[in-house]
Amino acid sequence: MNYFEVKQKENQTLLICKGEWIIYKASSIEKEFKKLKLTFPLTIDVSSVNDFDSAGVIEFITIYKKLKAKGKIKVIGYNQKELELFKLLEPTIDIKLPHKKSFFLDDVGKAAIEGFKNFLLFLAFLGETFAKFFYSIKPKNFRYKEMVYHIYTSGVGALFIIALTSFLVGMVVAYQASVQLHKFGADIFIVDTIGISVTRELAPLITAIVVAGRSGSSYTAEIGAMKITEEINAMKSMGFDVYAFLVWPRILALVISLPLLTFFADIVGIYGGLIASKFELGISFSQFVERLYEVLKVKHYILGLIKTPVFAATIALIGCFRGFLVSDNTQSIGLQTTASVVNSIFLVIAFDALFSVIYTELGI
Amino acid sequence: MKKPIIKVQDLVTKFGDRVIHDHISFEIFEKEIFGILGGSGSGKSVLVKEIIMLLRPFSGKISIFGKDISTLSFKEAQELKRSWGVLFQFGALFTSLTVAQNIAMPLIEYTTLSKKQIEHIVAAKLELVGLKPFVASMYPSELSGGMIKRAALARALALDPKLLFLDEPTSGLDPVGARNFDKLIQELRDILDLTVVMITHDLDSIFTILDRMLLIADKKIAAYGTIKEVLASTHPFVEEFFKNDFVKKRYLKELNV
């Protein structure tokens, strides 16, 4: 026994508490106490305890209350300070802390309502963004500097990663297609496959997905952090319009840079295909370019590019909207950033499908 | 007679070429409320951050409980960190946890206490810092400034530390709240035998609860000691800080200086 000692004296029991009654020992004290067999009347002597901290006193109070409920007890050997702590902490032992318990269906309901509310908020955000474009943004007070900064970070900054991904995608498509085409002896059709698929579908989609991951997430995090530090409130209080200051420069920056990035991805993607065709099917560079010139009509390239401003606006709008949804705890930045990337990638793909349907219906 | 708990010797702090502290030395004794004073940018917070091992000084020696903190092993450092509580200027409560979870955090991490014991301790700490039990299930974003400070103090006290560091505990509180907080710190020191180190600008705190203090100005110690000893100094910063008309009228009469 490290913390207790039981002695029988005349017709009463003496419980001697000893050792260090501190926070790191409290669980051992509790365990030891459970093993004790005590009889009443009982005297508790605490004079041999050589260190009492508040957790130790709380442990003592718990024990004291348990024993008091069972029979007659008396405590001896305490000093003034210990008594003070005891008196101070004794009432706190009965305090019941409130617990928030949630039921599964509650959570489902809350999540559904939250989702619907967010959708309504997004509509409001969309409306306000466009209304502000006509009311408060004029060519002479537009934030060109901000916009150029965002073109630089989301556009120029993304060149390398977009070059790498589209080059690889071009190559992979060429390798996959070449196996099938070779079986039919239709080797040269690899050029049609690469040229049309990259310009119409792959380059716009891959670029938009990379930009959503890179820039959409950073828009959410930036605006979210500004919201937590009350910078957004500061701007509003000075009469600055957050749509003009934060939202529109970002939307326009992406609407300008995403088509340019896609154009760049077109070139690099076809180049990737060209290299793969050379090694896999032995089609020379001049043969490839000649065939490309014949089959790749400008319309394919334009149809691919038309989609990109829509993708860009989607990514920027979702990124900013999610940023404004950040509430005042740090966890919500992470949640909103995740939601922002997931939503924008999903919507980009959904819009891409919509464009495909429209193009097919129009027969172009 | 009194034994020093924190001993700082010849401390030099530099950020790049900029010198923040130029060979400063002082001692903090057991069970005293020690103030670190100085103008903004004088390196008060940096000094405390060096003592609590968040920053490393350029040179000099800091000993806590007689041990040089620069030569501690990882295990010893962990142990030392558990023996102090820190109240940051803006509370620094974990925003994704409730107040009760914030206070229970160090208890869950470092002790083997049962759920029930933890709940008792959390309730007691809330009571000690003067918060109502219903605050326990609230999130930091739902609390007022004063409640955040109190909740953060409760978290700092969770492991029953012997040492308490406070960074501007009364800043951002209303005057009544600030005086109550001062009183609370004094009471806690008396009940729990704490040694309190606080950074403060608050004249009321300086004149009422500090036992001794340290004034940093011009990278050096401008004054050091009890309020009377500090007032005896003729350093220009002391003159400016303590010997203006407002302070004379408001505080110095009572001290008969």
What's the token pair of residue A255?
């609407």
- Judge whether residue B1 has pLDDT over 60: no
pLDDT for residue A94: 80
Is B156's Cβ below 8 Å from some Cβ in A? no
- Judge whether residue A266 has pLDDT over 90: yes
Domain ranges for chain A, please list them: 4-92, 127-362
CB pairs A-B closer than 8 Å: 88
* Percent of chain B predicted with pLDDT > 70: 97
| Mean pLDDT value of segment B18-46 | 88
Is B140's Cβ below 8 Å from some Cβ in A? yes
Global pTM value: 0.74
Report chain A's mean pLDDT, rounded to a whole number. Answer: 90
Q: Give how far B253 is from chain A: nearest CA, Å.
A: 35
- pLDDT band for position A149 (cuts 50, 70, 90): very high
pLDDT for residue A66: 85
- pLDDT band for position A352 (cuts 50, 70, 90): very high
Q: Give how far B92 is from chain A: nearest CA, Å.
A: 11
Q: What is the ipTM of this complex?
A: 0.76
* Percent of chain A predicted with pLDDT > 90: 58
Task: Identify all chain A residues contacting B85, using CB atoms and an 8 Å cutoff.
Answer: none
Say what angle helices A248-281 and A298-325 make with each other, to 10 degrees. 130
The 10s digit of each residue's pLDDT in B182-237 is 888 888 888 888 899 999 888 888 888 888 989 888 888 888 888 888 888 888 88
pLDDT for residue A127: 94
- Judge whether residue B42 has pLDDT over 80: yes
CB B3 within 8 A of CB B31: no
* Percent of chain A predicted with pLDDT > 70: 100
* Percent of chain B predicted with pLDDT > 90: 8
Distance CA A156, CA A224 (A): 24
The 10s digit of each residue's pLDDT in A312-337 is 999 999 999 999 999 877 888 999 99
Residues in chain B: 257
| Mean pLDDT value of segment A42-64 | 84
The CATH H-level (homologous superfamily) assignment of domain A4-92 is: STAS domain (3.30.750.24)
The 10s digit of each residue's pLDDT in B69-98 is 888 888 888 888 888 889 988 888 888 888
Distance CA A201, CA A305 (A): 10
- Judge whether residue A133 has pLDDT over 80: yes
Interchain proximity A55–B160, CB inside 8 Å: yes
pLDDT for residue B255: 66
- pLDDT band for position B242 (cuts 50, 70, 90): confident
Residue of A nearest to B127 (CA): A92
- pLDDT band for position A173 (cuts 50, 70, 90): very high
- pLDDT band for position B249 (cuts 50, 70, 90): confident
Q: Give how far A136 is from chain B: nearest CA, Å.
A: 33
Spell out the residues 6+ positions from residue B163 whose beta carbon is closer than 8 angstroms to its own.
B5, B6, B64, B83, B84, B85, B194, B195, B196, B197
Distance CA B154, CA B85 (A): 9
Q: If 0-12 CB within 10 Å is exposed, 13-18 middle and 19+ buried, where does residue A117 land?
A: exposed
pLDDT for residue A204: 96
- Judge whether residue A26 has pLDDT over 90: no
Q: Would you tell me how many other CB atoms lie within 10 Å of the CB of residue A70?
A: 11
pLDDT for residue A158: 94
Is the C-alpha dihedral spanning A74, A76, A80, A86 positive or negative?
A: negative
Is A98's Cβ below 8 Å from some Cβ in B? yes
Is B111's Cβ below 8 Å from some Cβ in A? yes
Residue of A nearest to B111 (CA): A24
Interchain proximity A26–B119, CB inside 8 Å: no
